[in-house]
Each structure stands twice: as C-alpha cells, then as structure tokens.
C-alpha cells in the first residue's frame, strides 16, 4: 500500500512538472488556446488512449491518477474561466475547455482502438 502511494506521488509530481513546463512555454494572448487548454487536451487524449489498454491496477493508478492527474488542471481552468471579462466570454471559455476535453478524450479512445 505505501509503495503504491509513493509511486502515485512520484507520477503526480512528474505530471505537475510537465504541466508547469508546458504552461510556461505556451504563452499566448488568446484566452481559449492557452497552456491550460493544452495540458487538459493532452491529458484527455492520453486518458482516452490509456483506458482501452489492459493495465494492472497499480500501473493504471500511476499513469491515470498520478501522472495525468498531475498534468491536467481543473482549478486553473476554473480560475481562468471566472476571470473572463463578461458572461459571454465565460460561457465560451468553459464550453471550449470542457468540449475540447471530451472531444480529445474520444479522439484518444478512437486512436487507441484503431491502433490496437
């Protein structure tokens, strides 16, 4: 049990470091195609790919809960969404973020199924 927790913590840390690197290097003036969108889209795509692969329970915890949990960020998405200038921009921001996440998840699932 403690070994599993340790490996999930390490995987989460690695995902968080990758998120930091992506968000620092993906600077744009566009509110909708920013680093938060990129990490959440990549994380959703990878999760879609991974769920169709029969991993052991422990490896799924390391990759899905740990690494992808550290890579993606719901809290930053919510903060950026609330900080939009008006209601229309807020709705558009959340629609793009959430819709993009679902779209990339299913795209990853499709790719994994097609390859596998």
Tokens 């490896």 belong to residue = 59
Tokens 């692969």 belong to residue = 53
User: What is the distance between the alpha carbons of residues 54 and 35, in angstroms, rounded to a whole number?
Assistant: 30
User: Interior CA angle at 26 toward 13 and 75, to 5°?
Assistant: 50
72 is in an annotated binding site: yes
Q: What is residue 63's DSSP assignment?
A: I
Residues annotated within a binding site: 69, 72
Residues annotated within a binding site for Na(+): 69, 72
């Amino acid at each position: 049990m403690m070994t599993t927790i340790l490996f999930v913590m390490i995987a989460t840390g690695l995902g968080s470091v990758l998120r930091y690197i992506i968000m620092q290097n993906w600077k744009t003036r566009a509110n909708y195609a920013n680093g938060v969108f990129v990490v959440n889209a990549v994380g959703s795509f990878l999760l879609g790919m991974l769920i169709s692969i029969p991993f052991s329970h422990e490896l799924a915890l390391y990759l899905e809960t740990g690494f992808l949990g550290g890579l993606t960020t719901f809290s930053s998405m919510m903060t950026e969404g609330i900080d939009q200038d008006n209601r229309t921009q807020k709705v558009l921001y959340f629609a793009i973020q959430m819709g993009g996440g679902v779209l990339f998840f299913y795209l990853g699932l499709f790719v994994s199924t097609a390859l596998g």
